[in-house]
Structure 1
Amino acid sequence: MLPRLPLWILCAFALSACSVFETREPLAEPEIKIVKEIVVKEVPQECPICAALPERPDKANALKSCEPIQAKPKKPTQKKGPVTTTRLPIIGEVEWVSINQKAHRFKARIDTGAATSSIHAEDIKLFERDGRTWAAFNIKPHRSKNSVRIKAPVVRKVSIKQHDRNSDRRHVVELTLMMGNIEMRTEVNLNDRSEFVYPLLIGRSFLEGHAVVDTSQRFMMLD
């Protein structure tokens, strides 16, 4: 049995124990800094070139489809009239041609290979009138029993070369010829066409710019 120690000894012992075993402070918890992550969302800048470009077709069409449909205004009806055309009349290889405003009619051969027109003339006489040379000659219209005397101013003389023949000098006069609605004053040379079927030949000087020839047709122009 242990002896009882005095109270003062026990107190001293207790104080010494406290000095030996120091109370340690609890370990401080490490300071944790919470850093909030800030997410910066990049906003793409608008391209100046793309902004200048037109909208896509599908987008434009989508916008158009939303727009209200407006009725188109009706165009004023035009009255139908005669159709005008600038086409030249078509003539055949043989046509009716009149001299001096239908006074004398002839069956005429159309020949685009001839430069000027030619008519069968008889009893050719030259004379002077007002300082110009004129020619008086006889022509015989279609189904006429008698010849008709014609007077016309002489424009010039031409030399016509023919196959197997010598050059032929002819007088060229001015006559007014009419074929359907075509009427003009043109040059016609006086010639002996007794060997030909048609006493009158129409050449390019009368045809050019006035008619188109279809050699497979005849008498296409209304007389």
Structure 2
Amino acid sequence: MPSISLLLAMQLLAGCESLLPSGKPGTAVEPVSPAVETPLDPAQCPPVEAVVCAEPEIKVVERVIERNYEKVVEVPVAKDKLVLGSEEFFTVEPGGVRLRSLVDTGAATSSLSVLELTPFERDGSNWVRFKLSDGSEAAPKKIELPIKRHVRVARPGFDRQRRPVVTMSLTVGEVTHMVEVNLVERSEFEFPLLVGRNFLKDAAVVDVSRRQVQTTPRLPSFSK
């Protein structure tokens, strides 16, 4: 038994010596320093490639919505004034003839187309005789009136005309005015009566966007 223990002790000593570094036996073992990382050389790294991402496609859709609004503008009208359209029916006196008439704010005086216009003299005064038709198959009315004066009227493309002026009663709706009317012998015009500013003044306002605003003319009734 003692020999076996001695043998084991010798083997243990031999193993420890084999673990020591080469050199003299019994030399102290220097501690091993930890490993130090060596920095990488940038030249050895692969080149960095820039990656450009494509921008997303943006579609702009423009929607235009149009709405039409009708705006009604109310224009104040003076009290007791009529509203007339560009075309109205007037009744002319004497004769009681109902005529399709053109309301013309550009004309200073009213004008009437007649047939067989004949001036004559009565009791030393100048008068005029003419016929007035409403365009129907009815016989024209014969009218005689004193001449107040004469006017010269110039129309584009025509010679100046000397026209007699008479006083007549014009009625539209329920309004009647005595005004001066110049007479012209003609039948080719669409409107036999042209109503000028001498009737419209202080009596009516005109809405050129409308026609036949007023109803059938009503002649004033005179008490006996």
Fold in common (TM above 0.5) = yes
Q: Find the residue that maps to 2:158 and give its secondary structure.
A: coil
Q: Tell me if the contact between 2:115 and 2:186 (Cα under 8 Å) persists in the aligned partners.
A: no
Indicate whether 1:99 and 2:89 are aligned.
no
List runs of 5+ in structure 2 lacking aligned partners: 1-77, 217-224
Query: Could you tell me how far apart the structure 1 residues matched to 2:166 and 2:95 are?
Result: 18
- What is the distance in 1 between the residues matched to 2:113 and 2:80? 32
Q: 170, 180, 197: which is aligned to 2:173?
A: 180
Residues 107 and 142, structure 1, Cα contact 8 Å, conserved in 2: no
TM-score by length of 1: 0.58
The answer to which of 141-150 and 181-190 deviates more is: 141-150
Gaps of 5+ in 1: 1-84
Indicate if the aligned counterparts of 1:101 and 1:177 stay in contact, CA closer than 8 A: no
Match of 1:207 in 2: 200
Question: 1:220 corresponds to which residue?
Answer: 213
The one-letter code sitting in structure 1 at the alignment partner of 2:86 is E
CA distance in structure 1 between the partners assigned to 2:204 and 2:80 by the alignment: 9
State, as a whole percentage, how many aligned pairs show the same letter.
35
Aligned-residue offset at 1:165: 1.7
Equivalent of residue 110 in structure 2, options 95, 114, 117:
117
Structure 1 residues 201 and 160 mapped into 2: Cα distance closer, same or farther (>3 Å)? same
Instruction: Measure, in 2, the Cα distance between the counterparts of 1:97 and 1:144.
Output: 19
Quick check: 2:151–2:163 contact (8 Å CA) kept in 1?
yes
State the number of aligned residues.
Answer: 139
Structure-2 separation of matches of 1:94 and 1:186: 19
Structure 1 stretches of 4+ with a deviation exceeding 3 A read: none
Q: Which residue of 2 aligns with 1:189?
A: 182
Partner of residue 48, structure 2: none
Contact map agreement 1:105 1:142 (CA 8 A) in 2: no
TM-score, structure 2 length as denominator?
0.58
Where does 1:28-67 land on structure 2 (aligned, <5 Å)?
none
Does the 8 Å contact 1:97/1:105 carry over to 2? Answer: yes
1:101, 1:178 within 8 Å by CA — same for their partners in 2? no
Question: Structure 2 residue aligned with 1:164, among 145, 157, 169?
Answer: 157
Change in CA separation of 1:102 and 1:220 when aligned onto 2, cut-off 3 Å: farther
Shift of 1:101: 7.0
SS at match of 2:159: coil
Matches of 2:93 and 2:82, distance apart in 1: 22
- For residues 194 and 102 of structure 1, the distance between their equivalents in structure 2, rounded to whole angstroms, comes to 18
Note the 1:69-108 alignment, pairs <5 A. 86-100=79-93, 103-108=96-101
Q: CA RMSD in A?
A: 1.8
2:121 corresponding residue in structure 1:
128
